[in-house]
Amino acid sequence: MAESREMNIGIDINCLLFDRSGFGRYTENLVKNLLLIDHKNEYFLYANFIRKSQERRKIIHGLIQETNAKNVTVKVFPLPAHWKEMLTGTSYSYTSIVKDPLDIYFAPHYAGIPKNGFSQMVVTIHDLVFIKYPEHRGRLSDYYLKRTKIAVEKSVKIIADSESTKKDLIDLLDVNADKIKVIYLGVDEQFKVYHQNEIIARTQKYVPTEQKYILSVGTLEPRKNLSMIVKAFSLLPIELQQTYKIVFTGGKGWNNQALAQTIADYNLKDRVIFTGFVSDEDLPYLYNRADLFIYPSLYEGFGLPVLEAMACGAPIITSNVSSLPEVVGKAGILIDPKNEQEIAHKMKQILTNPKLADDLRKKGPLQAKKFTWKKTAQETLKIFERIEYAK
C-alpha cells in the first residue's frame, strides 16, 4: 500500500467530559495515544457544553498537554450536550456547526454520529446491551437502538470492542461483517502490581487496614449481576464469611434496588462495603489488595474492570459469556453468572487455596500485557488511513 495522505481527523470528545467511566476512559486513552503516535495528520477535537466550562476545558487541555501535541485543534461549541444529541438525531446538517474540512469524522460512541453529517464517518460500538437486555435500560432502550441504527447506517466503518460485539452487530442489526473491525481496548499504565506498603497507604480510607476483601468494580446496575455475588457469598463457610467482606466500587447507576434488597434479605449488611466512585489514582491499589476480584456480569462489550484487575495481579472470577472469555483467556476462572452454587464453589477454591490464588496473580499481568492503548490507537489509525487511501 502506498503511503497514506495527510488527513484532517475530527473526533467527538463529549464522552471524555460526561462519562468518566467506560466510554469516557476509552475516549480519553484513545485520543491521548493517537496524539502520541501520530504527528502527521491534523486532529480536531469537538466538544459541546455550556455549564462547568472552566472545569471541562481544563480536562481537555490537560489531555493535550500530556501529549505535547502540536497537530491538534480544540473546538468547543456553546451548545448543551443534550441539544447536540437531539440535533444529530434529526436531518439537521451537522456540518452547519462543524465546518472544518474533515477527511474522517470519528465518534467513540454511537451518539456522536449525526444522521446528516460527513461522508466519511467511523464509529465505535461498545455493546448492544439495550437489545440483549432492554429491561436494564427501561424507556431509554428505544432511544439507544434508534441512535445505534443511525450510527451503523451512516458510518463507513464500525469498530467493535470484541468479537462478541461484532457477532451481536451481525446477528441483531444485520451489519455486513466486512464493515466491522474488532479492536480491543487497552489498560492504563497505572494499573500494575504495587509494593505492599503503597497499597495499604492508598486503600485504608476505603477499607480498614486489616480487613480482607472480595472486590467488584463497575457501575451498580442490573446487568452487572451484583446480587449474585451476595448470594454466592452467603453460601460460603461461616469462617470465610467472617474473614472477608465484599467491596463494591463504582457509581450508583440505575435500577440497583435489587442489590440493596438482597443484602438485607441475606442479613449481610455488615459484610458489605460500598466505596462509591474511586479515582483512577486510587483504584489500582484497591485491585492490588483484593484477595479476589469477581465480575459475574450478564453481558459486556469488553469488560475493562476485568483487564484492570488482571494487570494488578488480582485473582479473577468472571462470567463465561459475551466478551469476557476473550479478555481473560486462561488467566482467570470462568463461571456461569446465573449459577450461585458454582460461583460460591470457585470463590471458596481461591480463598482457601493459596497456590491457586498465587498462580492466578502471576497469570493476570501476563495476559493484561496483550492489551495496550497504544495498540488500540495504532489499529484505529490504520482504519482511518485505509478509508482515506480508498477514496
**Residues 107-154 pLDDT 10s:** 999 989 999 989 999 999 999 988 988 876 666 788 889 999 999 999
Residue 142 near residue 102, CB atoms below 8 Å: no
pLDDT above 70 (res 391): no
> What one-character-per-residue DSSP string does 177-214 give?
GGGEEE------TT-S---HHHHHHHHTTTS-TT-EEE
Query: CB under 8 Å to 257, separation ≥6 — which residues?
Result: none
Which amino acid is residue 347, in one-letter code?
Answer: M
CATH class of domain segment(s) 8-186+372-389: alpha beta
Residues 146-205 have pLDDT tens digits of: 999 999 999 999 999 999 999 999 999 999 999 999 999 999 999 999 998 899 999 999
Q: Is the pTM of this model over 0.75?
A: yes
Strand order in the sheet with 333-335: 272-276, 244-249, 212-217, 292-295, 316-319, 333-335
Which amino acid is residue 217, in one-letter code?
Answer: V
Average pLDDT score over residue span 51-62: 91
Angle among Cα 214, 365, 342 to the nearest 5 degrees reads 40
Average pLDDT score over residue span 201-222: 92
CATH architecture type of domain 196-368: 3-Layer(aba) Sandwich (3.40)
- As annotated, the residues of the chain forming the CATH 3.40.50.2000 domain(s) are 8-186+372-389, 196-368
Distance between CA 283 and CA 85 in Å, rounded? Answer: 31
